[in-house]
Amino acid sequence: MYESLYESIESTMDQSLTTLFELLEQPSISSQNVGVVDCAEIVQSMLVDHGLNAHRISTSSYPLVYGEKIVDDSKPTVLFYGHYDVQPVVESEWDSDPFEPEIRDGAIYARGSGDNKGQFLSHILAAEAVERTMGTLPVNMKILLEGEEENGSTGLVEFLETDPDEIDCDLIYVADGSMHDSRRPTIIYGCRGMLGLELTLQTTTSHIHSGNFGGPVPNAANKLLSVISSLYQDKRILIPGFYDDIEITSAHRSLVDEIPVDTDSIKDELGIQTFDIDDDDEYYRELLIEPTLNINGIQTGYVGDGMKTIIPNSASAKIDIRLLPNQQPDKIYQDIVHFIADINPDVEVSKLGSFPPLAENPETPTAESVVRSLETAWGLDVVEIPMLPGSLPAGYFKRVTDVPILVVPYANPDQNNHGPNEHLDTVCFTNGIKTSAGFLAQFNQ
């Protein structure tokens, strides 16, 4: 079965790349409202062209695109989730036009190549290959693609709250993110959640002379930094009750201990000498099963050439907090608001966005079919990871369904998603199609 299926996929790769290039040429920057609706139309047409029934679902933001092929109600149903929107670009940082895809050194360079257009397109092309080879899909397939994953997933959350029939399935399959640094195929059983915050403090009406007023007049920068420092110490978050709800299972911890890691290679890539941990062997424990509070940036005062002896009248900071299974972003947010209000009630706390964490049982039987498909397509042993260190909106599905949710990244670990020169290795694109096709071909066995 696999041999004829893979031969069919390889024989049509030129056509598959043409389809991907058409998708990549269409900008779809959700945070800037650039080309997103036009891209939704293209995605819907592609679903239809490749044999699925498809329609767009209106939301208060960008449309969702839904496609399906229901062959037999008695057969299992897989729902593939992905997103067609992309991150903004700074064209001067790219070596080529981010929306004119090109292949260099065996990789497809374009914004969205790995995150997430190349990955979700793999499912669509895989379904067509299975039908071409086997005559029909042996299982039911659904695909749900959103246009605001990079900007809060407002429309997706709104849609899921309606308890839609479109998500009735036996498995939710998410191809997003990057595979393990070893470039071995990877399956991930969840992701950390995320809470984004902005802290803002306004004191005097304008910057003032530090000599004339320094001492009795409050300094916005000093005050805000003092508040931020009260939030954590030695990487431990000091919000009362912050750690109370965390649920990390023994199965998750066992998987962490088995993840291969080359800490020297990671240090070389990042240009650092040491990690901020006591023992390099704790790298994945710190990365995956510990929460973090991360200052993204601070804006205040004067940072130009020379000195300017002022007392800043305003200061702001942006912070993200990565959350673990069973922590609730809304509850954590309220706890932080109350905590900061007790320290300095003049500091305004704004919520910028959030994703709930997701934790799946690594022993779910459905994972066996995915692992088998990965190993057959790649010819390598699979790396099993308890959760993605980053955050995905897949956790929202758990609020409305109990079916397993598995994250199966197809992109190379150096894809540089969100950054300049984002790229998807052509072998990853090909093997992604093979993986999805192999899964669809034997999911019901």
Give the pLDDT score at 445. Answer: 53
283 inside domain: no
pLDDT tens-place values along the chain, 445 residues long:
789 999 999 999 999 999 999 999 999 999 999 999 999 999 999 999 999 999 999 999 999 999 999 999 999 999 999 999 999 999 999 999 999 999 999 999 999 999 999 999 999 999 999 999 999 999 999 999 999 999 989 999 999 999 999 999 999 999 999 999 999 999 999 999 999 999 999 999 999 889 888 899 999 999 999 999 999 998 899 999 999 999 999 999 999 999 999 999 999 989 999 999 989 989 999 999 999 999 999 999 999 999 999 999 999 999 999 999 999 999 999 999 999 999 999 999 999 989 999 999 998 999 999 999 999 999 999 999 999 888 888 889 998 999 999 999 999 999 999 999 999 999 999 999 999 999 999 987 5
336 inside domain: yes
Q: In terms of domains, do 201 and 101 share one?
A: no
Closest CA to 85 of 50, 112, 123, 54: 112
Give the pLDDT score at 94. Answer: 98
Q: In terms of domains, do 140 and 7 share one?
A: yes
Write down which residue in 307, 331, 355 finishes a domain.
355
Residue 206 class from Cβ within 10 Å (0-12 exposed, 13-18 middle, 19+ buried)?
exposed
Residue type, 111: R
Q: In terms of domains, do 345 and 399 share one?
A: no
Compute the distance between CA of residue 157 and CA of residue 134 in angstroms, rounded to an integer: 36
CB 80 within 8 A of CB 43: no
Domain total for the chain? 2
Q: In terms of domains, do 437 and 311 share one?
A: no
Q: In terms of domains, do 346 and 377 share one?
A: no
280 inside domain: no
Q: In terms of domains, do 207 and 324 share one?
A: yes
Q: In terms of domains, do 342 and 235 share one?
A: yes
C-alpha pair distances (Å), 56 with each of 19, 106, 148, 169, 431: 20, 34, 14, 19, 29
Q: In terms of domains, do 187 and 197 share one?
A: no
Closest CA to 326 of 359, 369, 362: 359
Write down which residue in 300, 328, 355 finishes a domain.
355
CATH number, position 386: 3.40.630.10
128 inside domain: yes
Q: In terms of domains, do 387 and 400 share one?
A: yes
Residue type, 303: V
Torsional sign, CA 382, 386, 388, 391: positive
262 inside domain: no
CATH number, position 350: 3.30.70.360
417 inside domain: yes
Give the pLDDT score at 100. Answer: 98
Write down which residue in 303, 327, 355 finishes a domain.
355
Q: In terms of domains, do 36 and 114 share one?
A: yes
261 inside domain: no
Give the pLDDT score at 404. Answer: 95
- What is the residue range of 332's domain? 193-248+289-355
Q: In terms of domains, do 436 and 417 share one?
A: yes
234 inside domain: yes
Q: In terms of domains, do 424 and 333 share one?
A: no
The whole-model pTM stands at: 0.90
